[in-house]
Amino acid sequence: MPTAFDSVDLAGTRLANRIAMAPMTRSRADAELRTPTATVAEYYAQRASAGLIITEGVQPVAEGQGYPFTPGLHSREQIAAWRRVTDAVHERGGRIFAQLMHSGRIGHPDLLDGDLHPVGPSAVAAAGQVFTPEGPKDFVTPRALTGDQVHEAVAGFANAARNAVEAGFDGVEIHGANGYLVQQFLASGSNHRTDEWGGSVENRVRFAVEVVKAVAAEIGPERTGLRISPANTYNDISETDTEELYTTLLTAIEPVGIAYLHVLETAPERRPLVLDLRKRFAGTFILNPATEEETDAASLALIEDGTTDLVAFGRLFIANPDLPARLRTDGPYNELDATTMYGGDERGYIDYPALEPVS
């Protein structure tokens, strides 16, 4: 049986171990250009010992931005800036995928340029607030995408995927989780459409399927991953028929042959569904498990018992840039400073110490 510290082949890309860095928004991009800075490059390079780094959510198009100071992949400046990040990670032997995240209705016009406005499958506002430069504000009612605009949104993901490869990424992960645009189409609570993009389960999975197909056609299925979070209620998401929804989705994307499926487990009681999805998916399976303690050794045991091929860790990677080495010895672990999670300077970002200096 493999262990977390064994290498693995990810659709032709060799990973040094089976420990993935989960995508986490840190809000440290340049405010005007939405480009990653030199500090961002150092942040990811410090964590290059992960088998696979999956970046923070990167907006594929300008209107896909949902939070302040988040980076994009839709301009020449952004491509050039991300190249500095990928070069830094590769120089230290790492592998890195860009997570393409269109926030959809999660956001606010104050975060967008010009007359851009948050969009969604339907004109249904999410309950809650988002942080803006002027402080927290209620989510607004999104503009419902027209049929042509839905196709443009699909093309936006494909264009960003091409930009990612040009920027040196090993691949991309499509963010279909956590209540953002792809999951907004999946969920009946946010998708009230009566055309081919809404209504039945087959229609509600269509957007996700078309995005997967478009990205895989643009950069190759071996460079394409998908993240999902079945039954996730984050960002006011309300799903019905969860098992049918996600089994239908997997059946539809199976012929594409993407590199991996990344599942965010929302609660321990969802494990039977996770195991079912694992059986249905032929490619590499990455699990971000629901555990009481993020350092729980049971997470690594999930690789040994075949539950998953890789385990993704989130917050633990923020405070511990050399997390694989610490997991091997079960610590010690640096303590996370939650006050520096989002925005700010180098504090709580690139100043967490490693067990040994990184050359």
Query: Any catalytic annotation for residue 180?
Result: yes
Residue with tokens 């629901």: 290
Strands (E), 214-307: 224-228, 260-264, 284-288
Could you say which of 43, 44, 67, 180 is catalytic?
180
Smallest Cα–Cα separation from 25: which of 237, 350, 343?
343
CA-to-CA dists, residue 133 to 101, 108, 112, 130, 318, angstroms: 21, 11, 11, 10, 24
Alpha helices in 69-145 (DSSP H): 76-91
Cα distance between residue 275 and residue 285, in whole Å:
10
Smallest Cα–Cα separation from 273: which of 309, 303, 230?
230
Residues whose CB is less than 8 angstroms from the CB of residue 141 and which lie 6 or more positions away in sequence, other chains included = 105, 123, 124, 125
List, by residue number, the catalytic residues.
Answer: 180
